Amino acid sequence: MADDDLAQIRAARLQQLKEQGGESNDGSEEDQKRKQESEARSTILNQILEPAAADRLGRIRMVKESRATDVENRLIMLARSGQLRAKVTE
């Protein structure tokens, strides 16, 4: 009987670990989605910004990250709507 009880405990613990592992997979999927969005943003910004403008945006990010994110969002929105005709300079 002790072996049967031990087997049941092991099975229950294995199931519990599998469930916890499933939750961490959901988190990794979210991380992967955020990473893909970040890469897409970087790609778009590389296409629409001159190198000097990208450097400037990086310096702004060091001082105030929220301001840099707002500028990036605005630039991406303008690029997607077709309002940017050339690369953005400083």
Q: What pLDDT digit, counting tens, does each position of 69-90 carry?
A: 999 999 999 999 999 888 988 7
22, pLDDT greater than 80: no
Residue 46 DSSP one-character state: H
**What would the pLDDT profile of 25-63 be if each residue is shown by its tens digit?**
556 788 888 899 889 999 999 999 999 999 999 999 999
- The model's pTM: 0.64
C-alpha–C-alpha distance, residues 37 and 31, integer Å: 10
pLDDT at 31: 85
Other residues' Cβ atoms within 10 Å of the Cβ of residue 87: 13
How much is the average pLDDT of 2-27? 75
Q: Which two tokens mark 75?
A: 């630039």
